[in-house]
């Protein structure tokens, strides 16, 4: 049976990368996992404050994300859906883990470098002294490890970009269990979604991201068919007016084919679609991609509109989720506290 945990930041409505890389996989797992498998899906609002914003905006983004999770088909009676900040044990375990975690390992992580627009070879140097690197952004993976370990998670479904953080999580388990000669923390496995990485529509070398300054770089799961068509139409391709699937040589075209494959009702691979669309012009490819994305997201879009305006329902889901999550988190923390020598 096992335990499945994953999280998403309330930093904007989910885009196709979040959907294909994470949310759709969560829904599939919900529908196919053993009935005894526990599923935890967390809106990680404490991670989101690494980029501070006005409180009203934060509030709105949190509820929008809750509406999105229900819109993609997650069932609050089957899964535990909750806001991270309502379960204080996440922060407690983060501190405990950070006392055995290695800063050397953290300094090699790529996420804080990419958020600060630094190359992968960047080192800490005097970024902290200059006030450029906040401690929360640097120690983000420790909080992520705490999120996962708090539920004794066995499997974490994520996009390719999270692979490194999951390796770090396992390192946290080894460090803690070794230091306290215990087995109370469980090492989770990474489940990478079939669509590993959706790229930006405007800069196909970068991943599609909620925080990209260019709105045209992404498609949201709430977009209308018209908006979807406009963004796909404006997607960067190259100077050739033919269709081939060559991710290295033609990343823009390959990204469109890969998105199409992610939404293809027949489940054709990007390679197969590339072959089948050989005679297409780029405009025809774009039309075909826009059509399949709009069609496949129609239900999600409708459900989102209904949930977003139903605050009572959203609040109920949150309260129910917090209760269930707190129960499980409490059990793990009792074992962790005992291992450290904090129990009475
Ligand atoms: N482009 C992507 N392709 C595939 N999977 C992706 N994910 C994100 N972008 C892509 C997956 O979505 C899940 C939730 O991600 P997150 O909200 O925790 O943060 P993120 O990975 O940093 O995503 P964003 O959109 O880039 O958010 P911001 O801009 O706020 O940082 C994860 O499972 C991730 O793998």
**pLDDT tens digits for range 169-182:** 999 999 999 999 99
Q: Which residues are catalytic?
A: 115, 207, 210
Do 57 and 11 contact (CB within 8 A), yes or no? no
User: Is ligand 1 within 6 A of the CB of residue 24?
Assistant: no
Do 99 and 172 contact (CB within 8 A), yes or no? no
pLDDT at 97: 98
Q: 197 C-alpha vs ligand 1 centroid, how far in Å?
A: 9
pLDDT at 332: 98
pLDDT at 344: 80
Is a pLDDT exceeding 90 seen at residue 115?
no
Q: 158 C-alpha vs ligand 1 centroid, how far in Å?
A: 8
User: Is ligand 1 within 6 A of the CB of residue 18?
Assistant: yes
pLDDT at 196: 79
Tell me: ipTM over 0.85.
Answer: yes
Q: 194 C-alpha vs ligand 1 centroid, how far in Å?
A: 15
pLDDT at 239: 93
Token output for 142: 């420790």
Is a pLDDT exceeding 90 seen at residue 276?
yes
pLDDT at 51: 92
User: Is ligand 1 within 6 A of the CB of residue 294?
Assistant: no
Q: Which strand ranges, in their side-by-side order, compose the sheet holding 80-83?
A: 80-83, 38-43, 3-8, 155-158, 189-192
User: Is ligand 1 within 6 A of the CB of residue 159?
Assistant: yes
Give the nearest ligand 1 atom to 159 CA.
35
Residue 336's pLDDT band (boundaries 50, 70, 90)?
Answer: very high
Distances (CA, A) of 179 to 100, 113, 152, 164, 169: 8, 29, 18, 23, 15
Identify the CA nearest to 142 among candidates 120, 118, 114, 175.
175
Residue 110's pLDDT band (boundaries 50, 70, 90)?
Answer: confident
pLDDT at 233: 97
Q: 161 C-alpha vs ligand 1 centroid, how far in Å?
A: 7
Residue 317's pLDDT band (boundaries 50, 70, 90)?
Answer: very high
Give the nearest ligand 1 atom to 11 CA.
30
Using most ligand atoms within 8 A of CB, pick from 58, 113, 161, 190 the residue to mutate for ligand 1: 161
pLDDT at 126: 75
Is a pLDDT exceeding 90 seen at residue 133?
no
User: Is ligand 1 within 6 A of the CB of residue 21?
Assistant: yes
What mean pLDDT do residues 214-220 have? 97
User: Is ligand 1 within 6 A of the CB of residue 261?
Assistant: no
Contacts of 141 (CB under 8 A, 6+ apart): 106, 109, 111, 165, 168, 169
Q: 209 C-alpha vs ligand 1 centroid, how far in Å?
A: 6
How far apart are alpha carbons 58 and 74 in whole angstroms? 22
Residue 121's pLDDT band (boundaries 50, 70, 90)?
Answer: confident
* Mean of all residue pLDDT scores within the chain: 95
How far apart are alpha carbons 300 and 315 in whole angstroms? 20
pLDDT at 57: 97
User: Is ligand 1 within 6 A of the CB of residue 236?
Assistant: no
* For ligand 1, atom 12: residue with the closest CA: 18
User: Is ligand 1 within 6 A of the CB of residue 324?
Assistant: no
How far apart are alpha carbons 81 and 64 in whole angstroms? 13
């Amino acid at each position: 049976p096992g335990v499945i945990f994953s999280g998403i930041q309330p930093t904007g409505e989910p885009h196709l990368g979040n959907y294909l890389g994470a949310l759709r996989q969560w829904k599939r797992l919900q529908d196919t996992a053993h009935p005894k498998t526990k599923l935890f899906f967390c809106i990680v609002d404490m991670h989101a404050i690494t980029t501070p914003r006005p409180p009203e905006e934060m509030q709105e983004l949190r509820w929008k994300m809750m509406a999105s999770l229900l819109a993609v088909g997650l069932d609050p009676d089957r899964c535990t859906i909750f806001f991270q900040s309502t379960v204080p044990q996440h922060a407690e375990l983060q501190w405990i883990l950070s006392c055995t975690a290695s800063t050397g390992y953290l300094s090699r992580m790529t996420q804080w470098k990419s958020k600060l627009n630094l190359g992968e070879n960047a080192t800490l140097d005097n970024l902290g002294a200059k006030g450029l690197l906040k401690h929360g952004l640097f120690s983000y993976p420790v909080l992520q490890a705490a999120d996962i370990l708090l539920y004794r998670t066995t499997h974490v479904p994520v996009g390719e970009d999270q692979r490194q953080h999951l390796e770090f999580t396992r390192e946290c388990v080894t460090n803690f269990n070794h230091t306290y000669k215990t087995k109370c923390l469980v090492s989770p496995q990474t489940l990478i979604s079939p669509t590993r990485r959706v790229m930006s529509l405007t800069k196909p070398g970068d991943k599609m991201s909620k925080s990209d300054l260019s709105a045209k770089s992404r498609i949201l799961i709430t977009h209308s068919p018209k908006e979807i068509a406009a963004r796909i139409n404006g997607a960067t391709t190259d100077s050739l007016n033919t269709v081939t699937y060559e991710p290295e040589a033609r990343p823009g075209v390959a990204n469109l084919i890969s998105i199409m494959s992610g939404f293809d009702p027949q489940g054709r691979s990007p390679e197969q679609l590339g072959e089948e669309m050989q005679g297409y012009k780029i405009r025809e490819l774009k039309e075909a991609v826009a059509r399949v994305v709009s069609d496949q997201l129609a239900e999600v879009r409708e459900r989102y509109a209904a949930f977003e305006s139903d605050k009572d329902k959203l609040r109920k889901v949150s309260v129910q989720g917090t209760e269930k999550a707190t129960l499980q988190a409490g059990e793990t923390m009792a074992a962790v506290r005992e291992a450290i020598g904090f129990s009475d």
